[in-house]
């Protein structure tokens, strides 16, 4: 297993094709200038020691040196062993509403993106807790099982869109019921379900599902995104708004946050509700809630002892640059005698 410490340096690799195109342009330009100056065979006889191959070789060495240098700056790290460590924490399950109403932009950049931001910030402030992710709209399905790998969780989080589930609606009850399946009888780890939604078009069975979850020891925090005034639902193609969502009567749909149902769901499970429009307040609220939940010891297997490998790439880079300096563009006498590139006949 590996990780890249400074990934943004990889953008420097765009310089490589630019240099290659510039090199090819210069070679073509030189060829044209030589033809304009005189006969190529005559020019070759006037400079018999000039190599056609070595400039290309020196350029390739320079390119390889730059590639190794950039990879060295990225600092790849390799995990050398797996460790099973004991940690104390709880399991935090995120249930993300990905219905079409979450595309409304009454909260910037949109309710859906705001929800993703909230989950990412909450994850950033977790300690030794494990996470799981559920996506739901008209139905619910597990996106990520319980894991301690936060990076994987964030990666899956960014892939969540309304198109993942064909049936529309906001079946919070199904999300809660699915979350209870994350609870195993042998697993004594305390669990917290965090629901991120606008609460609109909800199922009436949500409160009953919350009460059943409470019996299993699952506490629920609901986070409402959106505004009471609401907003329209833009339908985009390639990032551009093509139209607005309309109902069966061809009226433009205005979706509003349903705060009351979210408060009732949270109350039914012994949890709480928080307005999701302020990221700082949400993170602080969840942090305080986690402090009041008893932590449980569990074992977690993870890749450990990551070692930096930048020195190898920097070493190869400097070695190639050193070799490049030592190579002259004129022909090497002993290679010239071998006539490997059929240059002797020119």
Single pTM value for the model: 0.62
Domains and CATH numbers, the chain: 2-75+309-338 (no CATH), 88-301 (3.40.50.410)
The pairing of strands 130-136 and 2-4 is unpaired
Residue 254 bridge partners (DSSP): 232
Q: What is the pLDDT along the chain (346 residues), one digit of tens a residue?
A: 666 778 888 888 899 999 999 999 988 887 787 677 666 666 566 565 666 777 888 889 999 999 999 998 888 887 666 566 666 788 899 999 998 889 999 998 999 999 999 999 999 998 888 899 999 988 888 999 988 889 889 999 988 988 777 666 668 899 999 999 887 766 677 889 999 999 876 667 888 999 999 988 899 999 999 998 889 888 888 777 788 888 788 889 898 999 999 999 999 988 999 999 999 999 999 999 988 887 776 655 555 566 778 888 889 999 988 888 887 766 555 445 555 545 554 4
CB–CB of 63/271 below 8 Å? no
Pair of tokens at residue 173: 């009850």
Hey, is 258 helix, strand or coil?
coil
Cα separation, 196 vs 140, in Å, equals 13
């Amino acid at each position: 297993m590996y990780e890249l410490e400074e990934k943004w340096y990889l953008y420097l690799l765009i310089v490589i094709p630019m240099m290659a195109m510039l090199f090819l342009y210069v070679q073509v330009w030189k060829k044209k200038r030589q033809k304009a100056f005189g006969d190529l065979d005559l020019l070759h006889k006037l400079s018999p020691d000039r190599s056609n191959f070595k400039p290309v070789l020196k350029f390739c060495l320079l390119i390889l040196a730059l590639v190794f240098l950039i990879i060295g700056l990225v600092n790849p790290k390799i995990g050398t062993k797996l460790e099973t460590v004991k940690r104390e924490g709880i399991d935090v399950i995120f249930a993300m509403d990905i219905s079409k109403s979450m595309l409304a932009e009454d909260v910037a950049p949109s309710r859906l993106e705001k929800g993703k931001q909230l989950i990412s910030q909450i994850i950033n402030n977790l300690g030794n807790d494990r996470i799981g992710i559920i996506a739901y709209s008209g139905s619910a399905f597990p996106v990520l099982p319980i894991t301690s790998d936060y990076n994987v969780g964030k990666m899956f989080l960014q892939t969540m869109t309304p198109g993942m589930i064909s049936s529309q609606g906001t079946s919070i009850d199904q999300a809660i019921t699915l979350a209870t399946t994350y609870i195993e009888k042998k697993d004594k780890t305390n669990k917290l379900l965090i629901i991120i939604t606008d609460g609109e078009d909800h199922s009436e069975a949500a409160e009953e599902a919350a009460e059943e979850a409470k019996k299993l020891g699952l506490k629920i925090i609901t986070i409402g995104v959106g505004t009471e005034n609401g907003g329209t639902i833009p339908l985009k193609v390639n990032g551009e708004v093509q139209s607005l969502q309309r109902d069966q009567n061809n009226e433009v749909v205005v979706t509003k946050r349903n705060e009351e149902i979210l408060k009732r769901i949270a109350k039914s499970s012994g949890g709480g509700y928080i307005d999701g429009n302020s990221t700082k307040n949400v993170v602080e609220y969840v942090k305080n809630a986690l402090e009041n939940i008893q932590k449980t010891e569990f074992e977690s297997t993870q890749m450990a002892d990551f070692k930096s490998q930048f020195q190898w790439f920097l070493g190869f880079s400097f070695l190639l640059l050193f070799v490049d300096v030592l190579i002259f563009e004129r022909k090497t006498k002993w290679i010239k005698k071998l006539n490997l590139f059929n240059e002797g006949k020119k």
